[in-house]
Structure 1
């Protein structure tokens, strides 16, 4: 079943990157000699040459991105789609750009360049079987819940998971889910899917698949790329 279905990946990169500092959005900052976003796109293409890549960017960044591609000699085929006013709208635009109704689609943060090929494969395989596949990792730290009065209570971290991307779905179902109106509690694609009354299926993510948000994250990213280079 998995081999016969068309596969898509929507890479969403609409953030301003204010926590990173500077004038350049974080998806364009260099790690290992290339902008973050190029590493992310390359990961999906390395998984499957036939995968259809959709890159969602703010329209005013299109020319800048094209210039970076020329400068870097980046030739991974992808479709550029205009982002929306929110992540929900950006993903919605990405989904609308896919004419087909059947297939599998992974939705991924552009600033998570260290997703493993194994996780991408698991996500498509599980989504084909269960309808959805959400990458998660266990918590390492202790956690407490805080109420409106400031009181806190211990929570068993074994009962919780940190949610990553990719979040992969059967295309017809996630298109239907995103046809609804945006709601304040839509924090990711899984919550939009869950809003339809469908249960999300969890898969194990990879711990190094962090979302690059701070300057410290960039330093860690350079370190990881250095390790991968030594391994090769």
Structure 2
């Protein structure tokens, strides 16, 4: 039975409706194009689906006025990824835009996924469950428990008429998935009223294609960026995602490396890996979010530059991942600190194409325990903030 399968071995297409104007946010820029950590929100949703190997194609539906901006977003992805994406113009309403996207889907597709472009937190395991359920039942959708009780006012004076038992209802979310023939039949048969005023795709498939959707309880990450405050919330969530994978590359037995390993693990709940060999990085580059290089003076700046360049070239940065270069050791010669400042500034410029954030933190290995504490706190703060405005800066713990 399809429900018992753990892998997706049939063609899957994704339609991302992104043609909304974002009126509820009260901004001149549609929310899907608002900047989060230096990238438009749509970028992160695309990144999530492009990371799923079994997704064959992605149709992005945007307003005619934002076609050029969408093409520019795609330039941040490598060519093999961009080739999976097709951009089409939207229409005056959500359902009409989705219909435009569905008409661009390859006809040999088995299952079509619909997902809001302003829901960037897509978990592959849950997406797989939705797709397999749709393949078995014809349609499947994500649901979440209702948070607030739903009440109905009287039409005449706005007084309370009745309330609903929220335990009997659930909130419909995204993603939703459909067998391709079912979703096409529903949109071909639905009325102009449905296309102009409808909101629920699962209902259209039930009404016009006779397919009842399987509802799957989804994770809390399925929430939709709707209001201006949600932009701040999603920025915090995306930053936390980038804290998870930290690599420390240390070419010397510095107690500070062990201290960093322990404190980062405890304070950021990160998975921290400690290496002493650059070659060991090869299997870690793709998932690494933060690299900390610890050095002792005198250090070989050119070798360090080569290390950083190789790691960045082998990593799909693209989302403001930070590279913290922690240089520590004996008190440096008089000309070393200027070299450190120039090195940090220059490598930040050279790696700007990767959207990486480059910082250096200096602390003398013979410094007091208070200075070591401050150095570790600086590193953790830089990992948390990963602020592109600070890229190229050197911080000294004394």
Structure 2-normalised TM-score?
0.55
1:213 aligns with 2:234: no
- Please report how far the alpha carbon of residue 49 of structure 1 lies from its aligned counterpart in structure 2 after TM superposition: 5.0
Select the residue among 175, 186, 200 that pairs with 1:166.
Answer: 175
Partner SS, residue 40 of structure 1: helix
**In terms of Rg, which structure is larger?**
2
Task: Answer yes or no: is the 8 Å Cα contact 1:58–1:82 preserved in 2.
Answer: yes
Q: Would you say the 8 A contact 1:137–1:164 is kept in 2?
A: yes
1:29 aligns with 2:34: yes
Query: Does the alignment pair 1:229 with 2:234?
Result: no
Correspondence 1:63 to 2:68: yes
Distance apart, 1:25 and its partner CA:
1.2
Structure 1 equivalent of residue 52 of structure 2: 47
In the alignment, the residues of structure 1 paired with residue 163 and residue 25 of structure 2 have an alpha-carbon distance, to the nearest angstrom, of 32
Q: Unpaired segments of 5 or more residues in structure 1?
A: none
CA displacement, residues 49-80 of structure 1 (integer Å, 9 cap, x when unaligned) = 5421110111221112223443xx23432001
1:189 aligns with 2:201: yes
Taking the aligned partners of 2:12 and 2:179, their CA distance within structure 1 comes to 10
- 1:12 has 2:37 as partner: no
Hey, what's the Cα distance between the residues in 2 that align with 1:18 and 1:186? 18
**4+ residue runs of structure 1 moved beyond 6 angstroms?**
none
* Structure 1 residue matching 2:151: 3-state secondary structure: strand
Higher alpha-carbon deviation: 219-228 or 19-28: 19-28
State the 1:20 CA deviation: 2.0
Check the 8 A contact 2:8/2:54 in 1, yes or no: no
Residue 90 of structure 2 contacts residue 96 of structure 2 at CA under 8 Å; is this kept in 1? yes
Question: Tell me, which stretches of 5 or more residues in structure 2 are unaligned?
Answer: 246-398
Separation in 2, partners of 1:175, 1:155: 34
Cα gap change, 1:99/1:227 in structure 2, threshold over 3 Å: closer, same or farther?
closer
Q: Secondary structure at the match of 2:184?
A: helix
Aligned residues: 230
Distance change >3 Å, CA 172–CA 22, structure 1 → 2? same
Q: Is the CA contact 1:12–1:56 (under 8 Å) kept in the aligned structure 2?
A: yes
Moved more, 144-153 or 81-90: 144-153
Alignment RMSD, CA only?
A: 1.8
Deviations 1:123-153 (A, max 9, x none): 1010011111110100122332334243332
* More displaced stretch, 201-210 vs 44-53: 44-53
Q: With the length of structure 1 as denominator, give the TM-score of the two structures.
A: 0.91
Q: 1:48 to 1:183 in 2, by over 3 A?
A: farther
Comparing 130-139 with 28-37, greater Cα deviation is found at 28-37
CA deviations over 1:151-185 (Å, ceiling 9, x no partner): 33232111111111111000111011110223346
Higher relative contact order (CA closer than 8 Å, sequence separation 6+): 1
Structure with the larger helix share: 2
